[in-house]
Structure 1
Amino acid sequence: MKKITLFWFRRDLRTDDNTALFYALQQETAVLPLFIFDRNILDILEDRTDARVHFIHQKITELKAFFEQKGSSMLIKYGIPEEVYKDLMNEFDIQAVYTNRDYEPYAKTRDGQIEAMLKAKNIPLLSFKDQVIFEPGEILNGSGEFYKVFTPFSKNWLEKFKQTKTQPLSEPNWKNLANTHSLPDITLKEMGFEPSSIEIPSSIADQDIIRHYDETRNFPAQKGTTRLGIHLRFGTISVRKLALIASRLNDTYLNELIWREFYMMILAYNPQVVNKAFKPAYDQIPWRNNEQEFKAWCEGKTGYPIVDAGMRELNATGYMHNRVRMIVASFLTKHLLIDWRWGEAYFAKKLLDFELASNNGGWQWAAGTGTDAQPYFRVFNPDSQTEKFDKDLRYIKKWIPELGTNSYPKPIVDHKFARTRAIDTYKKALEQ
């Protein structure tokens, strides 16, 4: 059997500044790249034209072509990771497996199982930090505990960032790739998926947008955000390179990258937040969970234009502007008193840039159940938010052409009534 080292791609679908790939190629055994289309993840997706699966498939195809240009190839598998590894250990004399760490609960369980399997055969699993600047455990308070509030976390993060002088890695040693013929592809169809027509934003960081980010980011009609979320999610860009650009150009943009790592840290230390409120008392809230109202919210038919425009943008493009995400989440949880977990699950299905920690953190923030929660008595007023951020209705009219006609629905609930009902409901539940 041929001696090889495996490099296992997951949320790091790029060849430049890829930590584990760089270090795998520094050792002597020939490196064969691997990607597993994980059935534990894919089998639960309802939408068989999921744009994220199509995107990953395209990226894997590009990576395989890159390795073939270097005289190597890429193992592409579809299955349950433990079963795939069982087969690979029979097929190859594996010397080591290199990979980049993932901090989500499922990933940690999966990696623990694979590590145990490999260890039983004396094969080391070597993992590296790659999708973050600082991983959970690196930014702790004076007592050695994780931060529960963002502001002190961000100050510590920035201080450490300045001290460590983060830099991207140099070009890897491609000569150490395994010399192999082209290996088989896997089509979307073989996995039960179809191509998606949803457009994926560019992975190029627009420096002009980053430079003016603090001025433009709140206005959904403007092109004021980079749309790099999906690329950070799947590692098709380097977070180190992006953070260095942001640190030169715009503190507000860099702050968004710190929020991303804050929520990853919260999830890593508190895996229960996937199904429970970060603040346990908030699990007492008696949600109304009216299914008709939830359907109207999902379809963008609540009669509140800024909310409906956001939901229609999401359904059509897999994207929603961040300011609008806050408005629609507040509306669902406060105006309609529908469980934040319902909204979070809907976003998880639809968002191209869905990332568990940030999605969960954002929804819990909006519902008032999370870490830096807006207080429960703060209820966004969709009309005043429109006045502030889409005064000329450019964004709203783009997504609601029937605005002002009889075919646009009347408001599903009165704002003043809904606000009072939400505050009373929260207050009563929290007093128990």
Structure 2
Amino acid sequence: MSTNASIVWLRDDLRVSDNPALTAAVERGGPVVVVYLLEEQSPDARPLGGASRWWLHGSLTALAADLAALGGTLTLRRGAPEAVIPALVSETGADAVFWNRRYGAMREVDAALKSRLTDEGVVVASFAGSLLFEPWRITSGSGDPYKVFTPFWRACLASGDPRPPLPAPTAIDGLAVGGDELDDWTLLPTRPDWAEGLRATWTPGSTGAHERLEHFIEHGLPLYHRRDEPGVEATSRLSPHLRFGELSPHEVWARVHQSIAAEAAANRAKFLSEIGWREFSYAILFARPDLGRQNFRREFDAFPWGQPDAGQLEAWRHGQTGIPIVDAGMRELWATGYMHNRVRMIVASFLTKNLLVDWRTGEEWFWDTLVDADEASNAASWQWVAGSGADAAPYFRIFNPVLQAEKFDPRGVYVNRWVPEAGTPGYPEPIVDLKASRAEALAAYEAVKAAKA
């Protein structure tokens, strides 16, 4: 169809600004084909959960409009990339393919495809578009990946400032090719339509991402020292936008550093260290692509997880445990596709420690219901709480949800918002005794200690 055409294969980088792969294609000259694949057919591809599918529909809609404003077109295809991308090369006559790197098991697919296309004479280049620091560049003195966050982040900061974000192209010589219609992917829920709360809470797409970033800089960052209080709007809520790459961590880093008020310096450093935890999670995933399926600390393979009680599990999923802070978090999740980070730790500890349910069960539920569920942070965070992960909380650190609520939601602002019936006769009794279940969890941990000995 064309000569000197370039294909830009987008994945979790659904933006036109600070997109190295797109910039490289535009600067190369010639027509540009921008394609997004729904990759659920690859063996290592994990199908998106329901909330992520809802978000993806909105994000792709916004991206298509952003590309169109520059003269580009978004092509949608479905299938395994090792089949679809070479077919698209043949169809368009493209002689170059560009993408931004990913870091889990699917990178093996990318490497094989890069080798194949290169052998066929196609120029293939990958770029650092999703992380501030490439995982293989941040290693310990022995050359091994870090397993503890603090020295990892110290090494990141010592490696030099991240590059400045790239501007969006001023124009794209778009090459339109046939593809799927987005509605045919049926990403949106219909019967029932459970996404009303998501629509009321979020605006997927780069415009919504940058608006939320600016809102955080103005209103959240000054309060970031209160980030552990779920009743205070002090967190950024940028995680779903970062997960889908509607803005890059480089854009966040640069914008936050423009906030130079002296009183915000400590808050700024703490917030950027939370971006660092995202980097750390991806570094762990890079070293252990099976992070969502296998214990990072293999001695936890000996942990005697109990068979989930169906009634208790459903009570946890839908916020009916009789523990107000746990129920508030799970209801926030169900309604908005999001949960405050402190509360995520509380509900995860309750599931894994008080109910003795395998962390993978919770990870799967979050994968389906969170709009920000990604393969690195979701799994790493669950393993952190369970005690089985890198730099994890010790297993015997068991969050007492009552004490956590007293400490971080002392006036009940968050609980009252989501569980207004708490403390009334209509509210259920706790499904488990916190003291007794804590003792059972500590007894179960003896199996892990014995396996490690």
TM-score, normalised with respect to structure 2: 0.88
CA separation in 2, counterparts of 1:44 and 1:369? 22
Q: CA deviation at 1:184?
A: 5.6
CA separation in 1, counterparts of 2:290 and 2:84? 29
Distance 1:76 1:165, change over 3 A: closer
CA separation in 1, counterparts of 2:154 and 2:317? 37
Q: Which runs of 5+ in 2 are unaligned?
A: 190-194
Match of 1:220 in 2: 230
* 1:370 counterpart (365, 380, 389): 389
Match of 2:307 in 1: 289
Match of 2:182 in 1: 187
Contact 1:15 1:21 in 2 (8 A): yes
- SS for the counterpart of 1:25 is helix
Q: CA deviation at 1:354?
A: 0.5
CA separation in 2, counterparts of 1:86 and 1:182? 14
Letter in 2 for 1:168: P
CA separation in 2, counterparts of 1:193 and 1:428? 43
Distance 1:240 1:213, change over 3 A: farther
- After superposing the two structures, state which structure 1 stretch, 259-268 or 405-414, moved more: 405-414
- After superposing the two structures, state which structure 1 stretch, 114-123 or 379-388, moved more: 114-123
Letter in 1 for 2:130: Q
CA separation in 2, counterparts of 1:25 and 1:79? 26
CA separation in 2, counterparts of 1:316 and 1:182? 38
Determine if the alignment matches structure 1 residue 239 to structure 2 residue 239. Answer: no
- Structure 1 residues 19-418: aligned runs within 5 Å: 19-40=20-41, 50-105=50-105, 107-160=106-159, 163-164=160-161, 166-172=163-169, 174=171, 177-178=173-174, 180=175, 186-188=181-183, 190-194=184-188, 196-197=195-196, 198-199=198-199, 200-201=202-203, 202-203=208-209, 204=211, 205=213, 206-247=216-257, 248=259, 249=264, 250-292=268-310, 293-418=312-437
CA separation in 1, counterparts of 2:31 and 2:176? 14
Q: CA RMSD in A?
A: 2.2
CA separation in 2, counterparts of 1:174 and 1:21? 11
Q: Deviations over 1:348-390 (max 9, x none)?
A: 1110001111111111111111111111111111111010111
Contact 2:316 2:330 in 1 (8 A): yes
CA separation in 1, counterparts of 2:289 and 2:219? 34
Distance 1:395 1:224, change over 3 A: same
- SS for the counterpart of 1:344 is helix
Match of 1:423 in 2: 442
Q: Which runs of 4+ in 1 moved over 6 A?
A: 41-44
Q: CA deviation at 1:183?
A: 5.6
Distance 1:417 1:72, change over 3 A: closer
- SS for the counterpart of 1:99 is strand
Contact 1:11 1:233 in 2 (8 A): yes
Q: Deviations over 1:203-230 (max 9, x none)?
A: 1212024532532211111111111111
CA separation in 1, counterparts of 2:66 and 2:432? 55
Contact 1:310 1:321 in 2 (8 A): yes
Contact 2:8 2:33 in 1 (8 A): yes
Letter in 1 for 2:333: L
Contact 1:284 1:430 in 2 (8 A): no
Letter in 2 for 1:84: V
Distance 1:65 1:374, change over 3 A: closer
Contact 2:325 2:415 in 1 (8 A): yes
Q: CA deviation at 1:120?
A: 4.0
Q: CA deviation at 1:326?
A: 0.4
CA separation in 1, counterparts of 2:72 and 2:415? 50
Distance 1:32 1:390, change over 3 A: same
CA separation in 1, counterparts of 2:315 and 2:66? 46
Letter in 1 for 2:283: M
Distance 1:156 1:108, change over 3 A: same
Determine if the alignment matches structure 1 residue 12 to structure 2 residue 13. Answer: yes
CA separation in 2, counterparts of 1:347 and 1:41? 22
Q: CA deviation at 1:236?
A: 0.4
Distance 1:167 1:407, change over 3 A: same
Letter in 2 for 1:79: G
- SS for the counterpart of 2:182 is coil
Letter in 1 for 2:81: P
Contact 1:209 1:225 in 2 (8 A): no
CA separation in 2, counterparts of 1:308 and 1:379? 18
Q: Deviations over 1:230-265 (max 9, x none)?
A: 110011012112112334551110010000001100
Distance 1:330 1:26, change over 3 A: same
Contact 1:95 1:123 in 2 (8 A): yes
Letter in 2 for 1:323: R
Q: Which runs of 5+ in 1 are unaligned?
A: none
Percent identical among aligned pairs is 38
Q: CA deviation at 1:22?
A: 1.1
Q: Deviations over 1:310-346 (max 9, x none)?
A: 1111111100000000000011111111101100111
Q: CA deviation at 1:276?
A: 1.4
- SS for the counterpart of 1:295 is helix
- SS for the counterpart of 2:68 is helix
Match of 2:192 in 1: none
Distance 1:222 1:415, change over 3 A: same
Distance 1:295 1:46, change over 3 A: farther
